[in-house]
Amino acid sequence: MCVVLAESDDSKWDDKTGERYHFPKQYQKSLTPGMRFVYYKGRLKPGNKEYSSKRLSDAPHYFGIGRISEIRPDEAGHLYAVLTEFQPFEQAVLAKNDGVYYEEIPEQQKSNYWRFSVRPISGEVFADIAVASALTESRFIMDDIESEEILQEDATDEESLVSYEEGKKTSKFVTKYERNPKLKKLAKSIHGTTCFACGFNFGDFYGEYAKDFIHIHHVVPVSEFGMSKIVNPKTDLVPVCANCHGIIHRKKDRTLSIDELKDMIAASKKTP
């Protein structure tokens, strides 16, 4: 479960966006450490035009994502959430997508739903909003380069592995969405940091030093891109451990799917 945190333009709290968020005690059970959140602002009130320059939009919109680290009381006994991993959006994600709200409004709350400053949402809704924030940005550039150059370029990034065929010219698409560290974090926010293939988690195994480390794998190989490709982190990018990532790209002319790798792992554990 994830949550929406509504931020007011003229809040009585001296909170800093992305770091601290005060909330009424009635929402205490709705907020837990480790929970992912989406930031939201309602429609700009007519008398608050001075806040317009500080917002991504005057309309109701989402403007960032992050994670709740802790719940603490302040000196007066009021509760606030300590926020971490904050990723502000570059452009607003409006509350409605093609006329339909991202949030699923319960029938019994239709008349007052938007009054709640803390609103539980599913992981699916969280992912849809996060993806929408990335798809508003520039998506790709293209360059025709030799496959040998692809290997050299990707060797500079420890998380980048590609499958290719020697001697062939390949159309390579370098997406801002995939290559930008901020957007890799977005994929991690959506899918987590546990390997999709074998279930390995670096933080669980090595401790705090390795927390949140994982490779991000491109489901569709670069060599199979058509004339254009928009990378969607919800469907096109998945977390995999370094070992699984290496095996996926072990053959130059073949990229294993996650399901194929899972089958290999399962088969290797069977006894004769």
124's tokens: 């699916």
Whether the per-residue pLDDT at 223 is higher than 70: the answer is no
Tell me the C-alpha distance between 272 and 270, whole Å: 7
Q: Is the pLDDT of residue 180 over 80?
A: no
Q: Are 38 and 4 in contact (CB under 8 A)?
A: yes
pLDDT bucket at 234, cuts 50 / 70 / 90: confident
Q: What is the Cα–Cα distance from 99 to 235, expressed in whole angstroms?
A: 23
Q: Which residue has the higher pLDDT, 23 or 234?
A: 23
Structure-token pair, residue 91: 């452009």
* CA–CA dist 133, 91 (Å, integer): 7
- Residue 218 is predicted with a pLDDT of 84
What would the mean pLDDT of 43-67 be, rounded to a whole number? 92
Q: Give the bridge partners for 118, in sequence order.
A: 5
116: nearest Cα among 3, 262, 217: 3
Q: Compare 269 and 103 and report the one with higher pLDDT.
A: 103
Query: For a pLDDT cut of 70, what percent of the chain falls above it?
Result: 77
- The count of other CB atoms within 10 Å of the CB of residue 194 is 17
The pairing of beta strand 215-218 with beta strand 141-146: unpaired
- For 126, half-sphere exposure in the C-beta direction (CA atoms, 13 angstrom radius) is 25
Give residue-wise pLDDT tens across range 64-74.
999 999 999 99
Q: Are 166 and 147 in contact (CB under 8 A)?
A: yes
What are φ and ψ of residue 215, in 5° steps?
-85, 150
Neighbour tally for 117: CB within 10 Å: 19
> Looking at residues 39-65, what average pLDDT do you find?
93
Report pLDDT digits (tens) over 91-110: 999 999 889 999 999 999 98
Query: In the predicted model, what is the mean pLDDT of residues 155-161?
Result: 51
